[in-house]
Structure 1
Amino acid sequence: MRRSFPSAVMALAGLALAWTGSPAAAQDWPTRPVTLIVPFLAGGPIDVIARVQAQKLGEILGQTVIVENVGGGGGALGAQRIARGTPDGYIFVMGNVGTHAYHPTLYAKPLYDPVADFAPVGLTTESPRLLVARPTLPVADLKGFVAFAKANHATMSFGSGGLGSATHVPCLLVNQAMGVTVTHVPYRGAAPAMQDVIGGRTDYMCDSIQTAVPQVKQNNVKALAVLSAVRSPLLPEVPTAAEAGLPGVEADTWNAVFLPKGTPEPIVRKLVAAVNQTLDDPTVRKRLDELGLAIVPPERRGPDYLATFVKSEIARWAPAIQAAGLKVE
Structure 2
Amino acid sequence: MLTRRTALLGATLALPAQAQERFPSRPVTLIVPGAPGGGGDFTARLLAEGLAGPLGQSVPVENRTGGSGNVAASFVARAAPDGYTLLLAYSGTHVANPALFRELAWHPIRSFAPVALLLTAPHVLVIRPDLPARDMAELAAYIRRNPGRVTYASSGVASIQHLGGAMLAQALGTEMVHVPYRGAGPAMSDIIAGRVDMIITTPPAVMGQIQTGAVRAIVQTGRARHPMLPNLPTTAEAGLPGFELEAWFGIYAPAGTPREAVLRLSRDIQGVTETAEFRRKAQEAGTYVTFLGPEELAAFTATELTRWSGIIQGLGIRLD
TM exceeding 0.5: yes
Alpha-carbon deviations, 1:166-215, whole Å to 9, x = none?
32222222121111221111100001111111111111110111221211
State the AA in 2 paired with 1:19. P
SS at the partner of 2:147? helix
Q: Report whether the alignment pairs 1:106 with 2:100.
A: yes
State the AA in 1 paired with 2:39. P
Q: Report whether the alignment pairs 1:183 with 2:177.
A: yes
Could you tell me how far apart the structure 2 residues matched to 1:126 and 1:193 are?
21
Does the 8 Å CA contact 1:41/1:47 hold for their aligned counterparts? yes
Could you tell me how far apart the structure 2 residues matched to 1:73 and 1:157 are?
21
Alignment of 1:227-306 (within 5 A): 227-297=221-291, 301-306=292-297
Alpha-carbon deviations, 1:65-99, whole Å to 9, x = none?
01101111232211111111110111001102122
SS at the partner of 1:154? coil
Alpha-carbon deviations, 1:117-153, whole Å to 9, x = none?
0000011111100011111111111001111111102
State the partner residue of 1:6: none
Shift of 1:321: 1.2
Alpha-carbon deviations, 1:223-262, whole Å to 9, x = none?
1110111112111111111111111111111110000000
Does the 8 Å CA contact 1:177/1:248 hold for their aligned counterparts? no
SS at the partner of 1:113? coil
State the partner residue of 1:12: none
Uncovered stretches (5+) of structure 1, i.e. residues with no partner: 1-15
Shift of 1:18: 7.1
Find 1:193's aligned residue among 187, 196, 206. Answer: 187
State the AA in 2 paired with 1:51. R
Could you tell me how far apart the structure 2 residues matched to 1:77 and 1:86 are?
16
Q: Report whether the alignment pairs 1:19 with 2:2.
A: no
State the AA in 2 paired with 1:315. T
Task: Give the 3 Å change call, closer, same or farther, for CA 280–17 of structure 1 in structure 2.
Answer: farther
Could you tell me how far apart the structure 2 residues matched to 1:261 and 1:133 are?
40
Task: Give the 3 Å change call, closer, same or farther, for CA 20–118 of structure 1 in structure 2.
Answer: farther
Bigger shift: residues 209-218 or 235-244 = 209-218
Could you tell me how far apart the structure 2 residues matched to 1:165 and 1:40 are?
10
State the AA in 1 paired with 2:294. P
Q: Report whether the alignment pairs 1:167 with 2:161.
A: yes
Q: Report whether the alignment pairs 1:226 with 2:220.
A: yes
Does the 8 Å CA contact 2:89/2:250 hold for their aligned counterparts? yes
Does the 8 Å CA contact 2:38/2:204 hold for their aligned counterparts? no
Alignment RMSD? 1.8
TM-score for the superposition, normalised by structure 1: 0.90
State the partner residue of 2:303: 312
TM-score for the superposition, normalised by structure 2: 0.92
Alpha-carbon deviations, 1:240-296, whole Å to 9, x = none?
111111111111111100000000111111111111111112222221122122111
Does the 8 Å CA contact 1:96/1:255 hold for their aligned counterparts? yes
Does the 8 Å CA contact 1:96/1:166 hold for their aligned counterparts? no
Shift of 1:20: 4.9
SS at the partner of 2:152? strand
Does the 8 Å CA contact 2:76/2:253 hold for their aligned counterparts? yes
State the partner residue of 1:52: 46
SS at the partner of 2:167? helix
Could you tell me how far apart the structure 2 residues matched to 1:119 and 1:238 are?
37
SS at the partner of 2:223? coil
Could you tell me how far apart the structure 2 residues matched to 1:139 and 1:53 are?
37
Q: What is the aligned residue count?
A: 309
State the AA in 1 paired with 2:304. E
Find 2:319's aligned residue among 310, 325, 328. Answer: 328
Does the 8 Å CA contact 2:33/2:63 hold for their aligned counterparts? yes
State the AA in 1 paired with 2:141. A
Could you tell me how far apart the structure 2 residues matched to 1:72 and 1:183 are?
20
SS at the partner of 1:176? helix
Does the 8 Å CA contact 1:73/1:164 hold for their aligned counterparts? no
Shift of 1:111: 3.1
State the partner residue of 1:70: 64
